[in-house]
Amino acid sequence: MRAFSKRAVKEFYRRLAATRPIPQTELEFINPFTLLVAVVLSAQATDTGVNKATPALFALADTPKKMLALGEERLVELIRTIGLFRTKARNLMALSRILVEQHDGEVPRDRAALEALPGVGRKTANVVLNVAFGEPTIAVDTHIFRVANRTGLAPGKTPLAVELALEACTPVEYKRYAHHWLILHGRYVCKARKPDCPDCVIADLCRYAAKTGPAELIAAQALTEAIPSPAKSARLRANRQAPRSRVSSPRGRSSGRV
């Protein structure tokens, strides 16, 4: 697979940035601790599923001390709808105890300290460092791993290899939000089963050989300088799917769309 040039990488991120100038995590949280809890809960679960459970949880326990006071059994009841809830409950109680005893109840702004917490690996630490503290870290999940390999932006056989490749190639001005742009692109456009190539803003840069959709639409997208708004994109998708009919206009001319 042909490697991206520095110019192509910059253009890749410029286009993703244009679609979402200031992207945000889709996990709901209140403070660094609740963010940490939400990310731990999101392992092998969807953000949507986590967001359904956490409002009630965070209303009762938005600090490590309150989490310990809540108790493991009550925590289990509140997160029962999330996969691996018992293991996650044990980890959350254990990490809350460590935060109280070793970090004065605060989430540390340090990778090693975060990874020492039960249930927290490199990906979770990267998310917390990026979202809570603004560090330019890139947390490689399944979406980012797929996008990096499929597009050829930063291929690698392991999440760590992809992370290091992304850190090496991503321009400094885009590192702060690179994680979010890549994950959202993978979640909503460069999907696992059938990527939406005709509606992809980086289709002409992408090295993926088996692009989906009519070739003329992909070519047209490549020639478009302006990034379409979400509303325009929705209309384009609707127009591609809707049958065409002809009706008379008020001036007696026929219109190609309804």
- In Å, how far are 61, 65, 87 from 70, measured between CA atoms? 7, 9, 16
141 is catalytic: yes
For 60-116, what is each residue's pLDDT tens digit?
999 999 999 999 999 999 999 999 999 999 999 999 999 999 999 999 999 999 999
Query: Rounded mean pLDDT of 241-253?
Result: 38
- How many angstroms separate the Cα of 121 from the Cα of each of 14, 92, 116? 30, 13, 8
CA distance 38 to 50: 7
pTM here?
Answer: 0.80
How many residues are there in the chain? 258
pLDDT at 173 over 90: yes
Please tell me which residue in 52, 62, 104, 141 is annotated as part of the active site: 141
Catalytic residue among 123, 196, 211, 232: 123
The yes-or-no verdict on residue 233 having pLDDT over 60 is no
Residue 3 is predicted with a pLDDT of 87
pLDDT for residue 250? 35
Closest CA to 199 of 171, 175, 222, 166: 222
pLDDT for the residue 7? 95
pLDDT at 256 over 80: no
**Tens of pLDDT, residues 120-157:** 999 999 999 999 999 999 999 999 999 999 999 999 99
Output the pLDDT for position 2.
Answer: 81
Q: Is 88 a catalytic residue?
A: no
Strands (E), 69-114: none
| pLDDT band with cut points at 50, 70 and 90 for residue 248 | very low
